[in-house]
Structures are given as C-alpha cells and as structure tokens.
C-alpha cells in the first residue's frame, strides 16, 4: 500500500469515528407561558432542543437559595422518558398561595435537564437552569423564570 493510500484510509477511519461517536448536544431554548397567581402560582416553561426528536430526557431539581415563599425543600429526579418532538414542558410552581400574603419573597431551584439519543446515554448532555419564582408587592405580581424566559401575572 502506498503512503497516500494509507493516509486516505486513516482519514476515512477518522471520519467514521466522528460519525459513529457521541451525537452533538442540541441547543436548548426556553419559552415561559401560562403564568398562574392563585393557590398554585408559577408558570410553565417549555424547553425545546434542536434536532432532538426521539431523544431521551431526565430532570433533576434541587432546592436553591433563597427559599422564602414555600418552606421545605425540593429534591426530585424523574425517570428517563422519550420525547417525540425534542420538546418538554416543566411546571415551575408553588402550591401554598395565594401569593399576596407571602410578598415579597423569592424561591430558587436548581434544575438539570439531561438528554441523550438513547435511554442508556440520557445523561450525555446536561443543561443547568436556575428557576426563580418571585412574588412582589409593588407591582402585585408573580414572575417565574428559567433560562432567560419569564412569565408574569398580577394577583
């Protein structure tokens, strides 16, 4: 085999290694909607991942600081699930409202969303999001945010 054929084979093997290796992590974007200001207050955050249809997802949420609105702690991890579209929706809320008597207060949780192309590789791509529920007196409002997306409502 000539040196040029050997170099061509090495380049081909390198290309095969790239295409058979781990898939690139998709880009995450967030959209907040359906703000609520009642006994349950907060909003829904829709996370969309580019080119991740049929990928697997798993979420872990732990309590952050401050934790002023709803006492107690949160520490949850859900089982992996598959998304047909590459979009998932998260309910970021407290259930000790109405929020007015609690104002002013803030609750921060630390969310990690994991995704991967298979159930066994679901933790391949982690995304870290601080999720904040903030209740203010002036204006009388609840603002819920994650990954730069915010939804508000007046109580």
Question: Tens digits of per-residue pLDDT, 10-44?
Answer: 343 343 333 345 689 999 999 999 999 999 999 99
Domain ranges of the chain: 28-153
Give 69's pLDDT tier (boundaries 50, 70, 90): very high
pLDDT tens-place string over residues 102-151 = 999 999 999 999 999 999 999 999 999 999 999 999 999 999 999 999 99
Indicate the pTM of the whole model: 0.84
Nearest residue to 62 (alpha-carbon basis) of 48, 76, 50, 49: 76
Identify the architecture of domain 28-153 in CATH.
Sandwich (2.60)
């Amino acid at each position: 085999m000539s040196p040029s054929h050997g170099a061509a084979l090495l380049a081909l093997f390198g290309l095969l290694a790239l295409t058979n290796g781990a898939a690139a992590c998709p880009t995450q974007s967030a959209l907040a909607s359906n703000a609520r200001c009642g006994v349950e207050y907060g909003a829904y955050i829709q996370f969309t991942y580019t080119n991740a249809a049929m990928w697997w997802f798993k979420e872990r949420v732990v309590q952050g600081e401050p934790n002023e609105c709803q006492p107690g702690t949160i520490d949850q991890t859900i089982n992996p699930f598959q998304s047909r579209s590459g979009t998932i929706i998260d309910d970021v809320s407290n259930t000790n409202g109405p929020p007015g008597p609690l104002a002013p207060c803030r609750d921060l949780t630390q969310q990690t969303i994991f995704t991967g192309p298979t159930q066994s590789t679901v933790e391949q791509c982690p995304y870290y999001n601080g999720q904040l529920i903030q209740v203010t007196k002036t204006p009388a409002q609840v603002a819920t945010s994650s990954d730069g997306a915010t939804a508000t409502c007046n109580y």
